[in-house]
Amino acid sequence: MALDKDEVSSRVLDIAEDLLNEGGAINLKARTIAEKAGIAVGSIYNLYGDLDGLHLAVNFRLLDRLSRAGMETMTQMQSSRVLDTKGRLLALARTYLEYVAAHPHSWAALLAFSPARIDAARREDYIGRLDGLFGIITKVLMDDKKLALDEEECVLNARILWSSVHGIVTSGVSSRASGNPEVETWRQVDHLVTVYLAGLERHPGRLTH
Amino acid sequence: MALDKDEVSSRVLDIAEDLLNEGGAINLKARTIAEKAGIAVGSIYNLYGDLDGLHLAVNFRLLDRLSRAGMETMTQMQSSRVLDTKGRLLALARTYLEYVAAHPHSWAALLAFSPARIDAARREDYIGRLDGLFGIITKVLMDDKKLALDEEECVLNARILWSSVHGIVTSGVSSRASGNPEVETWRQVDHLVTVYLAGLERHPGRLTH
């Protein structure tokens, strides 16, 4: 029975994602994928151009999935009336933490994947999706009228908050602290959001250009 | 002319560090090191046990060097009378930024090196040196009597600040923003320290247990 092209590409994508998630970018090998998918190595190149093209396709799917998870969190908060900025930021941070825990190596490989390796046509689209993720945090800050931040400031603060949470989650610092590493990571994320928001409330609109 | 053991170990260490800095942990290969050092592969194992042992020896040296750079920054600030907390934290962040820029892959490999791979006897020593690095930031926060933070709070905030700066420097988020990536990274670090400190000043001593 011949498989149709869509079925083969999606199977190749699933296998590639599993490989990335098991061992990062060095684990993404055309021969392994071909064997697991029961197809010729050449078919992979026909579908995705090269391994970078395949990795990029996995990354697009990872970004879309994280974006969907973030939007779902926003919808849930809307229905459960979580409207305060701290509660919303913490719920988004929790979504990110759970996402990284579920995709540890493939997410690290995505972050290590330089946009410079992407052809110009798709680079815009790729960077656009990353910006879309920061856009969720930006919106939370924009919605808080008490903070009185303009859009540029919300974008800047959203990027800083994202990088800081990311740094706490991935630096492994908390795993060296005593006690349960997950509890310690969350304690640090909570404290970061609390202190940072207190700072933003104190200096509304003040940009350190 | 026979080389003495110390000379060979230090040469092996230099080569290992160069390899790590060029291509990360997967670039650390006993055969390559042996060829470059002009010694037998077995000599490397005699000196360092295994490749993890060699990697660990490089990491110890990287930590010591960063610690020394941090202490020098502290001394310089003392002599040039930079005594405000924001100025001191920014100078330390700048030191870290420059250090990461000078050791991009070897530093990433150090962070990816799990302490679980270290034998118990040396793990304490390793974690102790990492704690020593956070200790420099902790001291800056302790010195600021206006913040009125106890030691536990200073340790927690030092870890958060370190991870946040680390996240900004390494997440590559700033490189996707428009303009000069280095300028944008520094703008984010400066803004983070400013807002975070404003938050700490507002909630002195308040720990989110």
| Segment A99-112, tens digit of pLDDT | 998 988 898 888 87
A43 and A64, same domain (yes or no) = no
A72 and A141, same domain (yes or no) = yes
Higher pLDDT, B207 or B152: B152
Between CA A47 and CA B188 the distance in angstroms is 40
Residues of A in contact with B190 (CB under 8 A): 208
pLDDT of B14 reads 96
Higher pLDDT, B112 or A142: A142
- The answer to whether B18 and B30 have CB atoms below 8 angstroms apart is no
Query: Which candidate from B168, B200, B208 shows the least CB-CB separation from A163?
Result: B168
B150, part of any domain: yes
Residues of A in contact with B170 (CB under 8 A): 167
Q: Which is nearest to B203 in space by CA: B133, B135, B156?
A: B156
Mean pLDDT of the region A140-154: 94
A35, part of any domain: yes
Between CA A41 and CA A39 the distance in angstroms is 7
Q: List all residues of chain A from 7 to 26 with a beta carbon under 8 Å from chain B.
A: 26
Q: Is A128 on the interface with B (CB under 8 A)?
A: no
B149, part of any domain: yes
How near does any CA of chain A get to the CA of B81, in Å? 23
- The answer to whether A149 and A128 have CB atoms below 8 angstroms apart is no
Mean pLDDT of the region A112-117: 80
A55, part of any domain: no
pLDDT above 50 for A165? yes
B21, part of any domain: no
Q: Choosing among A29, A163, A194, which should be mutated to test the B contact, i.e. which has the most B CBs within 10 A? A: A163
Q: Show the domain range for A130.
A: 60-202
Q: Which is nearest to A167 in space by CA: A177, A156, A159?
A: A159
CATH of the domain at A18: 1.10.10.60
Domain count, chain A: 2
A18 and A70, same domain (yes or no) = no
| Domain end point (choices A49, A71, A86) | A49
Indicate the pLDDT class of residue B209, thresholds 50, 70 and 90: very low
Q: Is B156 on the interface with A (CB under 8 A)?
A: yes
Residues of B in contact with A197 (CB under 8 A): 199
A83 and A139, same domain (yes or no) = yes
How near does any CA of chain A get to the CA of B8, in Å? 31
Residues of A in contact with B201 (CB under 8 A): 202
Q: Is A176 on the interface with B (CB under 8 A)?
A: yes
Checking ipTM against 0.90, whether it exceeds it is no
pLDDT of A1 reads 47
CATH of the domain at A90: 1.10.357.10
A86 and A186, same domain (yes or no) = yes
Partner-chain contact B173 A134, CB within 8 Å: yes
Indicate the pLDDT class of residue A76, thresholds 50, 70 and 90: very high
Q: What mean pLDDT value characterizes chain A? A: 89
A10 and A86, same domain (yes or no) = no
CA distances from A190 to A7, A186, B9, B196, B209 (A): 43, 6, 45, 13, 9
B142, part of any domain: yes
- Three-state helix/strand/coil letters over chain B: CCCCHHHHHHHHHHHHHHHHHHHCHHHCCHHHHHHHHCCCHHHHHHHHCCHHHHHHHHHHHHHHHHHHHHHHHHHHHHHCCCCCHHHHHHHHHHHHHHHHHHCHHHHHHHHHCCHHHCCHHHHHHHHHHHHHHHHHHHHHHHHCHHHCCCHHHHHHHHHHHHHHHHHHHHCCHHHHCCCCHHHHHHHHHHHHHHHHHHHHHHCCCCCCC
A106, part of any domain: yes
Chain A residue with Cα closest to B191: A208
Indicate the pLDDT class of residue A3, thresholds 50, 70 and 90: low
A69 and A165, same domain (yes or no) = yes
How many other C-beta atoms can be found within 10 angstroms of the C-beta atom of residue B106?
25
A44 and A71, same domain (yes or no) = no
Mean pLDDT of the region A126-137: 90
How near does any CA of chain A get to the CA of B94, in Å? 16
- Three-state helix/strand/coil letters over chain A: CCCCHHHHHHHHHHHHHHHHHHHCHHHCCHHHHHHHHCCCHHHHHHHHCCHHHHHHHHHHHHHHHHHHHHHHHHHHHHHCCCCCHHHHHHHHHHHHHHHHHHCHHHHHHHHHCCHHHCCHHHHHHHHHHHHHHHHHHHHHHHHCHHHCCCHHHHHHHHHHHHHHHHHHHHCCHHHHCCCCHHHHHHHHHHHHHHHHHHHHHHCCCCCCC
Cβ burial, residue A78 (10 Å; 0-12/13-18/19+): exposed
A105 and A189, same domain (yes or no) = yes
Question: How do residues B189-202 score in pLDDT, each as one tens digit?
Answer: 999 999 999 999 98
A184, part of any domain: yes
A120 and A74, same domain (yes or no) = yes
How many other C-beta atoms can be found within 10 angstroms of the C-beta atom of residue A69?
17
Query: Which candidate from B156, B160, B198 shows the least CB-CB separation from A203?
Result: B198
A44 and A68, same domain (yes or no) = no
Between CA A93 and CA A186 the distance in angstroms is 9
Tell me how far apart the 2 most distant CA atoms of chain A are, in Å.
67
A85 and A178, same domain (yes or no) = yes
